[in-house]
Amino acid sequence: MDRRVLIAGVGLIGGSIALAIKKEHQAHIVGFDLNEENCKLAAKMHIIDEIASSLEKEAVLSDLIILACPVEEVGHMIGRLSELPLKQGAIVTDVGSTKEKIMEKAEILSEKGVTFIGGHPMAGSHKTGAGSARGHLFENAFYVLTPSSQTEENKIAELKSWLKGTKAHFVVMDPKEHDQVTGVVSHLPHLIASSLVRQVESHAQTNDRVRWLAAGGFRDITRIASSSPEMWRDIIIQNKSSLIALLDEWIDEMDFVKSLVKKGDREQIYHYFSGAKKFRDSLPVRAKGAIDAFYDLFVDVLDKPGVISHVTTILAKEQISLTNIRIIEAREDVFGVLRLSFQTDEDRHRAKACLERDGFETYLNM
């Protein structure tokens, strides 16, 4: 008899995990979602095998329960599960971007003999919903697991086995360390990006040229500020203590930058930018980190009718999905540049190959 997996929250992440499990295991995957349309679509796409009539009825039958819902909802789900006679030996995990508060909440499951292992797959997409789910979404990404100090090693190994179809790199971390690390490389940058956008917004209200000029590079470097406000509200609340300390550090850093600007010392300013460049250039290029990467391909195109549809038709024939397309520059009778954004680096290189076969000049950096 196939083992049963319950996916609570059948969106991009939950659906992608379901597909990854299907690649490696003979398991009956059941979906539950507050939005029933998500489940209907997932069933139609064969991401799940069955739609749960209720969380409670399915949870007691499941060998693995994956809470793939927003971080605030995970706590509520844990509370509901704690009142149920869950299956002996079952594992419960989540996919939340914060871990310390969730692990504290999950202690109620441990008291009932249920294994809860926190999880955070550090990959995503600019798309949402079950329709965007991909079995390879987490390939080569870091997948953080945060077991409690009482969790048996064999249960951690069992969860890794369940998730091996993700082809992710598993990292076991303390929940507090996880929140500190993701705070500095993900949560704080989202706050800063949003703050930069708000500052520009205030200037744009009195000078419309600010809006025009922000349409280029500024829009690109603040792309993460377009993430879900609801999701980031919950993440900030959940990781408040780490972020307060990081914001204090950031304020100190900005005070230092302010002093550099005031003094106007050319050598000190140069070394500040040089040090930042050196460290940034040393970061892994192809590794997936805490913030979703943008895989951009730049294509020279002549400004003439039908050129964009020609490019997209070539990609469609190769079944390569675009996440975004933008004209950076196009003037009559001269070459402009299309920036094509893809979900994976593999898709980007496939696109590069097929477009160059068709005579287009492409490049990865601009």
- Residue 288's pLDDT band (cuts 50, 70, 90): low
Number of CB atoms found within 10 A of residue 193's CB: 18
pLDDT at position 215 over 60: yes
Instruction: Give yes or no: residues 317 and 189 share one domain.
Output: no
Q: In this structure, are residues 22 and 135 in contact, taking their beta carbons and an 8 Å threshold?
A: yes
pLDDT for 126 equals 54
Residue at which a domain ends, from 173, 201, 221: 173
Do 132 and 161 have their domain in common? yes
Q: pLDDT tens digits for 142-181?
A: 999 999 999 999 999 999 999 999 999 999 999 999 999 9
Last residue of a domain, one of 139, 173, 207: 173
Q: Is residue 288 part of a domain?
A: no
| Mean pLDDT for the chain overall | 89
Q: Do 155 and 48 share a structural domain?
A: yes
Residue where a domain stops, chosen among 173, 199, 226: 173
Q: For residues 276 and 149, state if they share a domain.
A: no
Same domain, 131 and 77: yes
Mean pLDDT of the 127-138 span? 79
Of residues 275, 298, 303, the one with CA closest to residue 220 = 298
182 within a domain of the structure (yes/no): yes
Residues 155 and 197 in one domain: no
Percent of the chain with pLDDT over 90: 62
At residue 293, the pLDDT reads: 60
Whether 365 shows a pLDDT value over 90: the answer reads no
Same domain, 204 and 113: no
pLDDT of res. 289 = 60
CATH number for 222: 1.10.3660.10
Residue 138 belongs to domain with CATH number: 3.40.50.720
Separation CA 288–CA 274 (nearest Å): 25
Q: Quick one: pLDDT at residue 214? A: 85
Statement to judge: residues 157 and 31 lie in one domain: yes
Sheet holding 3-8, edge to edge: 50-51, 27-32, 3-8, 64-67, 91-94, 115-121, 142-147, 169-172
Is 107 or 1 the better-scoring residue by pLDDT?
107
- Residue 342's pLDDT band (boundaries 50, 70, 90)? confident
Among 199-203, 216-220, 223-227, 337-341, name the one with the lowest average pLDDT. Answer: 216-220
Give a yes or no: residue 287 inside a domain: no
Could you give the strand order of the β-sheet that contains 361-363, starting from the edge strand earlier in sequence?
322-329, 335-342, 295-302, 361-363
pLDDT above 50: residue 304: yes
Rg (CA), the chain: 23
Q: How many domains does the chain have?
A: 3
With respect to residue 264, please indicate whether it lies within any of the assigned structural domains: yes
Residue 358 contacts residue 314 (beta carbons within 8 Å):
yes
- Amino acid (one-letter) located at 210: V
Instruction: Look at residues 317, 315, 325 and name the one whose alpha carbon lies nearest to residue 347.
Output: 315
Which of 7-11, 90-94, 283-287 has the lowest average pLDDT? Answer: 283-287
> What pLDDT, on the 0 to 100 scale, is given for residue 328?
65
Residues 98, 148, single domain; the answer is yes
Note whether 27 and 135 are same-domain residues. Answer: yes
If we measure between CA atoms, which residue out of 113, 181, 125, 183 comes closest to residue 150?
A: 113
pLDDT of residue 137: 85
Do 245 and 103 sit in the same domain of this protein? no
pLDDT attached to residue 269 = 97
**CA dist., res. 95 & res. 72, Å (int):** 12
The verdict on 144 and 212 lying in the same domain is no
Q: Is residue 200 part of a domain?
A: yes
Question: Is residue 327, in this structure, part of any structural domain at all?
Answer: yes
Q: What is the pLDDT of residue 332?
A: 41
pLDDT at 352: 92
Query: In this predicted structure, which of 46-55, 190-199, 289-298 has the lowest mean pLDDT?
Result: 289-298
Could you tell me the two tokens for 154?
A: 């064999």
- 285 — pLDDT class (breaks 50, 70, 90): low
Domain range enclosing 211: 178-282
CATH number of the domain that residue 319 is part of: 3.30.2130.10
Q: Is residue 289 part of a domain?
A: no
The reported pLDDT for the residue numbered 330 is 42
Is residue 345 domain-resident? yes
